[in-house]
Every structure is written in C-alpha cells, then in structure tokens.
Amino acid sequence: MFPVTSKLPNVRTTVFSVMSKLATEYNAINLSQGFPDFDCSPELINLANQYMLKGNNQYAPMQGILPLREKIAAKVFDLHGANYHPENEITITAGGTQAIYTAIAAMVQPDDEVIIFEPAYDSYAPTIQLQGGLVKSLELCPPDYKINWEVVRKLITNRTRMIILNSPQNPTGTILDENDIKQLIKLITNTDILILSDEVYEHLVFDKKQHLSMARYPELKNRSFITASFGKLFHNTGWKVGYCIAPEKLMTEFRKIHQFLVFSVNTPIQYAISDFLDNKSYYMELSNFYQEKRDHFKNLLKSTRFDILPCEGSYFQSVQYHKITSEGDHDFAIRLIKEFGVAGIPTSAFYKNGADYKVLRFCFAKKQETLDKAVERLIKV
C-alpha cells in the first residue's frame, strides 16, 4: 500500500457532521448543526425557478453577476455608510466558508502568524495551517467570553499577518462592542496587520444592539476582508452563496485564488437573490424574527437544570451543565442524543486544545414546535 502523508493529520470529520449523523441514527431532535428546519421564502424559490427557466444556467462571471454586486454595495452603504465598488471590491462566493478560506489563502504565507479567538468556528485554524501559517489563539472563557486586548497585544509579533474576528460569534453568541473596536484600532495602527471579519450573522443581533461591521471604520475598512452569507440571511444554507468585500488591492489577490477554487457561483441563484434584496424590510426585520425564537427557547430552558449563557446575536444559545454532571462535553453531548433524543454541539470542539468548560451549543433557528419538543426532553436531563 502506498503511503499517504496528510496535510491535516490531526483533523477529523467536523463535529457538526458527527453530531448530525448521530441525531439521524437515534432519531433525535437536531439542534446541533446550524441550519433552520423551516423553508426560505416561496418568492425566492420562485425567482430562482424563473431564472432557471429563462436559461440562466451557464457560468456566471468569475466575480459574480454585476446586478448582485451592485445590490450588495448599496446594502453595505445603507447599513454602514461605507463605499465598495461593485466592479473591483465585491466577489460572490460559494458560501461564507469559501470566502474565509480564500481570504486566508490569498494573504497568509508560510510562517505568518494569525491570531484567532477561541472558541472559534472550526474552519479557521485548519485553513491557516494549510497555507503554512501559524495559529496563535486566545482562549476566551464563559460566561461572557470577553476579549482581553492587553493579552492580544502580547500575542503580536513582527510575523503577525492577520487577526480573524467573528461577530456575532459562533458558537458563543457574543458581539463586538465599541470598546472592542476602539482597542482593535489602537492595536493595529502603524502595523501591516490585516483583518478577516466573519460577519455571516450580521443581521442577527438582539436587544436593540448594533452590529459593528469593520466597514464602518476607515482605519479597519482599508485592511479588512469582510465575509457574509446569504444562506444565513435567507434561511437556505444549502444554497451555499455568500460574498466577500474588501479594498481593491486586497480583492485583486482574493480573486486570484477564488478563480481556481470555484471559478464562479450558481448563476440562477445569484439573479434570484439580486431581485430579492430589493425587499429591504426583510433583512431589517430579521433580528426581531430570531430574537423571538431566542427568547422563546431561553424561557423554555429556564425549566431545565442548564445554566443559560448570554446570547447577543447569531442563532446559537449556549448552556453550561456543570450542575448536572462532571462528564466531558463530548461524552455528555453523545449521551444527550442517545438517551434523551436531543443533539447539541460540545464547545470543546471549537478550542484547539479541547478546553472543556462544560458548555453545549444549541441552534434555535427552528420551528417553535421543534424547540418545544426539544426542551420537553431536556427537562428530563
């Protein structure tokens, strides 16, 4: 048998796939993987079908169709007062994860250092490693998962190439505030450090708080890749369409990689989304839609023995279970599936060192009856 040398020897199948498979096997309610169990707008589906029937079924331009890029530029200006040129500063991607991979691949050279904040979305570290980069992680702790910027400062060296931020954050549900932005600007001033800002949950911010995009701040905008997801916005994660915005100098390098990863993205879906974005009230009201779900789920969880952690954004609610059992979170998550029929994600999977704070993440992007049924089972834990 010929030898195979792995580029990611310590990486296994993602915890999302593992838990979803177990949920199916044991007929459990799947609150693990982050996807809705309700459908997207029938109007959006109809638009996609119309464009398929019109014959828009061949390759789109590599950077994405211009009407969609123009709509994104207008949306970003309306929300954040930031100008991005549709022609050379916006690229349509095959979902948010591809945009993240592409930005890292375009900028990170062997031995470059990249700072991430853990618990972190599990694609960041492997993507950095695939480019020969070095991951420098700052471990954040429950219940508030706040960033200590003085510790971040100590992590920075002359080899620091990039800082990756995620707000609202997966899995913690935390968001960056004005002090975080102030500290970040102070930190990167007079450096060549780039920012990769994962903003896929930008429209899911609760309690009248505001999403603070890197696009709002000129000091950050001019060195930032910002990634976003239409799947999160329109409840159709399986369509895998997102985008990246960045200054032209950065986007030029981004597109060099993008063209060889996917070349272009689903054509009729791009046209459908472009038309659907005319309905601005849809995404302006999305936070209220999901806050109702968060509040409903949170109120139900008060009847359980779990400790409910803060959730300022995203569609994930984390809970701590140290009062219930001393089991490791991975073992406990599996037992929840097998014995109680509810699937969650153990947050140790989001730490490079497997840090176990006895925290599970549940997705509340579900129908009310799904959440009701899940908590009926969790009450028995």
Sign of the CA dihedral running 41, 44, 48, 50: positive
Instruction: Say whether pLDDT at 351 is over 90.
Output: yes
Q: What is the separation of C-alpha 101 from the centre of its chain, rounded to a whole number of angstroms? A: 12
Count CB atoms within 10 A of the CB of residue 326.
Answer: 8
Q: Given this model, what pLDDT does residue 11 score?
A: 83
pLDDT tens-digit profile of 256-287?
Answer: 999 999 999 999 999 999 999 999 999 999 99
* The CATH number fitting domain 56-278, selected from 3.40.640.10, 3.40.430.10, 3.10.20.740, 2.170.150.20: 3.40.640.10
What is the DSSP code string of 302-363?
A: TTSSPEEPP--BSSEEEEE-TTT--S-HHHHHHHIIIII-EE-EEGGGGSTT----SEEEEE
> How confident is residue 33, by pLDDT bands cut at 50, 70 and 90?
confident
pTM here?
Answer: 0.96
Instruction: Say whether pLDDT at 1 is over 80.
Output: no
> How confident is residue 206, by pLDDT bands cut at 50, 70 and 90?
very high
Q: Domain ranges in the chain?
A: 15-40+284-378, 56-278
What average pLDDT does range 331-335 have in this prediction?
97
- Decide whether 15-40+284-378 matches 56-278 in CATH topology: no
Q: Given this model, what pLDDT does residue 275 score?
A: 98
How many Å is the Cα radius of gyration of the chain?
Answer: 21
pLDDT tens-digit profile of 55-93?
Answer: 999 999 999 999 999 999 999 999 999 999 999 999 999
Single-letter code of the amino acid located at 235? H
Q: Which of 269, 273, 221 is nearest to 248 (CA)?
A: 221
What single DSSP character describes residue 205? B
Which ranges of 108-247 does DSSP label H, i.e. alpha helix?
Answer: 124-130, 149-155, 178-188, 218-221, 230-234
Average pLDDT of the residues of the chain: 97
> How confident is residue 359, by pLDDT bands cut at 50, 70 and 90?
very high
pLDDT tens-digit profile of 289-312?
Answer: 999 999 999 999 999 999 999 999
- Considering only the top CATH level, what class is 15-40+284-378? alpha beta
Q: Given this model, what pLDDT does residue 334 score?
A: 96
Q: Given this model, what pLDDT does residue 16 score?
A: 87
Q: Given this model, what pLDDT does residue 165 score?
A: 98
